[in-house]
Amino acid sequence: MPELVFEGTAKWDGGTECSLAVKGQQIVSVSPPPSFGGKEGYCTPEDIFAAALASCINTLFMLIAKNSQLSLKN
């Protein structure tokens, strides 16, 4: 199995905001929820975590379907 390398960075933008980057490309600016002193209208780190988890689960189901030779519909 090939070695998998994952790269992600967070750069503080001042205040409560930071920019997240994957493979050197900025993907989103985040801030804590307003209840923790963050700004309204930003994705929170918790939002990003939940989305990453959902993406992993989606990939798992797609691999199971492929290995089971299931035909999927949108």
- Tens-place pLDDT, residues 5-41: 989 999 999 999 999 999 989 889 999 999 999 999 9
| Residue 2, domain member (yes or no) | no
Residue 25 sits in a domain of what CATH number? 3.30.300.20
Residue 68 φ then ψ, to 5°: -95, 0
Q: Which structural domain range is residue 63 located in? A: 8-67
Residue 74 lies in a domain: no
Q: Domain total for the chain? A: 1
18 in a domain, yes or no?
A: yes
Judge whether 25 lies within some domain. yes
Q: List, for residues 31-72, the tens digit of each pLDDT value.
A: 999 999 999 999 999 999 999 999 999 999 999 998 999 887
| 3, part of any domain | no
Quick one: pLDDT at residue 73?
A: 79
Predicted TM-score (pTM) above 0.85? no
